[in-house]
Structures are given as structure tokens and as C-alpha cells.
Structure 1
């Protein structure tokens, strides 16, 4: 199975110039823990609830600080036509629970998460991913 068949395609995106408050409100409204950061139709970062807590709040940034001050710039991603087993292994090795999904033009088309794998019916891929992200550090 390909990632494009199981990913979540309804994705909220924030701008690097949006406030952390705006990003946190979106996360709360949609009950999500991460947001891709886009600028000029390109994926330029990724912001998680952990980034807000660790990179922003713990460093004393205000809720009006910009997303760019807390986001991860080194964005890992997969392609919509990648096989789910290889993506699961990659996510496990990166120890991440979610990845942005891009097309071959590197345009954001979705997000794939641990939950998508659990619902995919591919128990091997789900198990590989869960073992990688749940392993003690």
C-alpha cells in the first residue's frame, strides 16, 4: 500500500509569521499535535505541541512570538507514492510519530501519523513503527 492511500489529506498549515497563540488555537480546535509550516506554497518547517512547550514556553517566549522562533526547520517528509512499510521503518528510525507527505513536486499533500498506520490494516508496518517510536531513549 502507498502512503497516499492512508494519509490524512485535510491538513491545517500555518505561516512562519503566525503567532504561537494562533498555532496553539488551531491545534486545540482540531485536536492535533502538529502543524506543517508553509510559505510561498512550500513546506518550510514543522511545529509540534512539544516545540511550543520546550522551545517556546521553556525559553520564555510569549504567545505572540512567531512560529518561526519555535518550529523545526529540518523537515523530514515522505512522498505520497512511497510504500508504507518503508515509511514506517523510516519514521521508526527517526523516532517520529508523524511525517508531512509531499508529492514529487514537493508540494504538501497530507500528513501520515501513527494513527494512520494503526488503521491501515498493515500490522507489520504498524508494529515496526510503534517499536521505533515507543522505545525508551
Structure 2
């Protein structure tokens, strides 16, 4: 089974010039905790609810733009990759969400939840989650 078979294909994004308030509002309305930062169709970063809270609000930077709080070392996965490859990337990089790309352009998002909803992927998702959680508790 490939990533494209289980990914979320309708992905909302933001730009690195969006305000933290705009991104927080978008997260709330979409009920998501992470939004990819996209420029010209390419993923250049990721902003999470934790980024907004810790790098934004807690640091007193609420009037800043996404570029000041986003993570810019982004790991992506190709839509044609296997679920095992995606799970291995998530484990290796300690991440719970992967932007999915084709020809460098974002086409979806893959989360541990997406892996878990597929019966065939339960083992991959469980393995990735246990490795991610194990390393975060050390």
C-alpha cells in the first residue's frame, strides 16, 4: 500500500508571512494541530500549535509572522512511497506528520492517525508511535 492510499489529500497551508493569529484561527477552524508553510507549491516549513504556544505566545511574539516560529527543516515523503517507508521516516525523525509531495509540490499530509485507520498499516503506525514516544520520554 502506498502513502497516496491513506493520506489526507485536501491540505490547507499558510505562507511564512501569515500572522500567528491567522494561523491559530485556521488551526481552530480546521481542528488541526499543524499546518504546512508553502511557497510556490513547495513545503518550506511547518507550524504547529506547539510552535505558536512556545515560540510565539510564551516568548511574547504574538504579533510576529509564521517565519519566526515555524520549523524549517522539513522531512517530506513521496506519494508513491510505501507505508513502511513513511513509518520509518516518522520514526527516524521523531515526527507525527509528513507532508506528501509529488514533483516537489505538496499533494497531501500523512499522520500517524492516517496510518492507524488502515488495518494493514496498524503495525507500522504502532511501531512508529512507540519509537517516537520512547525517544521523547528519554
The alpha-carbon deviation at position 60 of structure 1 amounts to 1.2
Q: Check the 8 A contact 1:46/1:71 in 2, yes or no.
A: yes
Q: How does 1:14-53 map to 2 (within 5 A)?
A: 14-53=14-53
Question: Secondary structure in 1 aligned to 2:87?
Answer: helix
CA distance in 1, matches of 2:59, 2:83: 37
- Cα RMSD after superposing both structures: 1.0
CA distance in 1, matches of 2:35, 2:83: 21
Question: Secondary structure in 2 aligned to 1:96?
Answer: coil
Runs of 4+ in 1 over 4 A off after TM superposition: none
Structure 2 counterpart of 1:124: 123
Q: How does 1:1-137 map to 2 (within 5 A)?
A: 1-62=1-62, 64-103=63-102, 105-121=103-119, 122-135=121-134, 136-137=137-138
If each structure's helix is expressed as a fraction of its own residues, which one has the higher value? 2
Residue segments in structure 2 that go unaligned for 5+ positions in a row: none
The alpha-carbon deviation at position 89 of structure 1 amounts to 1.6
Question: Secondary structure in 1 aligned to 2:114?
Answer: helix
- Corresponding pairs, count: 135
CA distance in 2, matches of 1:41, 1:123: 31
Q: TM-score, normalised by structure 1?
A: 0.94
